Amino acid sequence: FEAAPRKLYFKNSIKKIEILYLDGQHKNNALVKPHVFPYTALYLDPYGSLMRKNQHYTINELGFIFIARTMKSILVKDGGEKLSKNFSYHGIINKKGENCHMIMYENKEFAYYDYTVGKNESVATIAIKHSLSDYMIRSKNNLHSYYGTIKEGQVIKLPNNYCAKATLFISEKTKLPIAINLYDEKDLWESYEHSNIIVNKPIDAAEFTRSYKDYNF
């Protein structure tokens, strides 16, 4: 993964899929190779239904930059006195063999409000505009199978912040989050862990090509 320009290779051994994405190339589509039927590598829209189905995020949200932007958005929205009330520090915790700063966030004012859809808006553009969870918006409004623009004037429910609660484990060594648990108003919403993180490792340009020796496109 490289952040600027954005380049990434992704392999999911469980779902048997490989993805190669190069920002600005192939009309910003990603090369996707499923190692199940139909076995053919295809260029797909990262925001399209085939790549978004049952996924909380697109490949454009992979990496720590998105996490940092999301946390910044939460801080801005909560601003002032709410910061000291909503955030709490729980000391050094060993997580995945690393010493981590454990930080908890809880927004007791988390709620949903009515939002009137504007011209040419989709769930994705609304989520980006308001720094919200795309998947949470879809779930609240039963829009899981709808990836196009929403009818102008339609009223949908939006959360007033990215999540209701969160637990972060920030590595004392790298200062990066190695584990994150996010909650909606009911329960655990999503949980992610990162391991074997290598920061600023030089990556051979060949690793961002379709013909790279370790890939199977």
pLDDT in tens, 14-58: 888 999 999 999 999 999 998 777 789 999 999 888 888 888 899
One domain, residues 174 and 99? yes
68-87 mean pLDDT: 85
pLDDT in tens, 145-195: 888 899 999 999 999 999 999 999 999 999 999 999 999 999 999 999 988
pLDDT confidence of residue 4: 84
One domain, residues 21 and 103? no
* Domain span including residue 184: 66-107+163-200
How far is it, in rounded angstroms, from Cα 123 to Cα 151?
11
One domain, residues 27 and 41? yes
The mean-pLDDT minimum among 50-59, 110-119, 208-217 falls in: 50-59
How far is it, in rounded angstroms, from Cα 67 to Cα 57?
12
One domain, residues 88 and 181? yes
pLDDT confidence of residue 38: 74
Residue 217 included in any domain: no
116 φ, ψ (degrees, to nearest 5) = -90, 120
| pLDDT band (50, 70, 90) for residue 115 | very high
Q: Which residues are 179's β-sheet partners? A: 169, 193
The 3-state DSSP composition of the chain as helix, strand, coil percent (nearest 5) reads 25, 35, 45
